[in-house]
Amino acid sequence: MRRVLVTGGAGFVGSSLVHRLVSETDASVDVLDKLTYAASPESLDDLPPDRVRLVVGDVADAALVDSLVADSDAVVHVAAESHNDNSLSDPTPFVQTNLVGTFLLLEAVRRYDVRFHQVSTDEVYGDLALEDPKRFTEDTPFRPSSPYSATKAGADHLVSAWVRSFGVRATISHCSNNYGPWQHVEKFIPRQITEILEGRPARIYGSGEHVRDWIHADDHSSAVLAILERGRVGETYLVGADGEHSNLEVARTILRLMGRDEDQLVHVEDRAGHDRRYAIESGLLRSELGWQPRLKDFEAGLVETIAWYSAHRDWWASDKAATEAAYAATGQ
């Protein structure tokens, strides 16, 4: 790969992938990113300008997408509107970016016969019961719950159709919940860390028994690179690190690691349609591509993440104020 186009490369997951492409391959990287409220272009500041170019623009801009794809050997499509709560208050940008944007990228890679990887989520599979021993596999049917996950599922179906009908050389990955540095403070783990740093209690939707399967963003990006380099065209891979914890468990662990009482939390308004549990079986990725998560110790990862947010208050302080004002309006 001489030149790789990474959409959403200034976001949380995308920036981890761009760092990895620079450190582990010889490719030049074009980042196409609209720089929405969720972007952190600062996360790319330490990268060599002769290897990484940031193009500020929209994946739903057909002419721009065409010109960038024409110059690329591979496209990794990371850009998305990514927050479930936002998709409940206004689904419009989710349809535009996640569905229309993916469609335009697929048409461009079809025109120029460019390798394509779609970064998707386990949320397309809906949820599992708390007591169910099953986990999601590559064969689990799609059953998305929220406008966010429905647009991701629709985009994934477009990818599969473009593979089958037009022979596009594409792969898809479905990853579980990511955590780590540079994650927007609207998301669960950074929200709790920054609430506690501001001297307030952790905020738990509903009962807090809901389970998420946590993986460090750097392990997600290592999986995406393995699939891009060695994955079978037309295949779907699930990405997870066996990190199931209830939201209450995670909040209590963060409180303890930050030297607070574990009961310093409040139960707030639940999310509409709140998925109960996600759990990933990532055996195919491990056996076929030899991938392993490296940051397997979730508590050690939380310690590092807490330290990072403590040291980067300048980066999150203004987003924090805007985010909490929006949450206050929904009682969350």
Q: Which spans of this chain sit near ligand NAD (rule: CB under 6 A)?
A: 7-8, 10-14, 32-36, 38-39, 58-60, 78-82, 97, 101, 119-121, 152, 175, 177-178, 184
Closest to 142 in 3D by CA, of 157, 159, 158: 157
DSSP string, 188-238: HHHHHHHHHHTT--EEEETTS--EEE-EEHHHHHHHHHHHHHHPPTT-EEE
Among ligand NAD, ligand TDX, none, the one that 12 touches (CB under a kind-dependent 5 to 8 A) is ligand NAD
123 binds ligand TDX (CB under 6 A): yes
- At 53, the amino acid letter reads R
Among ligand TDX, ligand NAD, none, the one that 205 touches (CB under a kind-dependent 5 to 8 A) is ligand TDX
Catalytic residues: 122-123, 148
Residue among 77 and 203 whose Cβ is closer to ligand TDX:
203
Look at the alpha carbons of 182, 173, 224, 292 in this order and tell me if their dihedral is positive or negative: positive
Among ligand TDX, ligand NAD, none, the one that 173 touches (CB under a kind-dependent 5 to 8 A) is none
- Scanning 59-67, 157-165, 202-210, 294-302 for contacts with ligand TDX by CB under 6 A, the matching segment is 202-210
Q: Are 281 and 136 in contact (CB under 8 A)?
A: yes
Please count the residues of this chain forming the interface with ligand TDX, following the rule CB under 6 A.
16
Member of 205, 235, 257, 296 binding ligand TDX (CB under 6 A): 205
Q: What are phi and psi of 287, to 5 degrees?
A: -75, -40
Query: Could you tell me which residues come within 8 angstroms of residue 73 by beta carbon, excluding any fewer than 6 positions away?
Result: 1, 2, 3, 4, 27, 114, 115
210 binds ligand TDX (CB under 6 A): yes
Member of 177, 221, 222, 305 binding ligand TDX (CB under 6 A): 177
Residue 270 burial (10 A CB sphere; 0-12, 13-18, 19+): middle
Write out the residues near ligand TDX by the rule CB under 6 A: 82-84, 121, 123, 177, 187-188, 191, 203-205, 210, 212, 247, 271
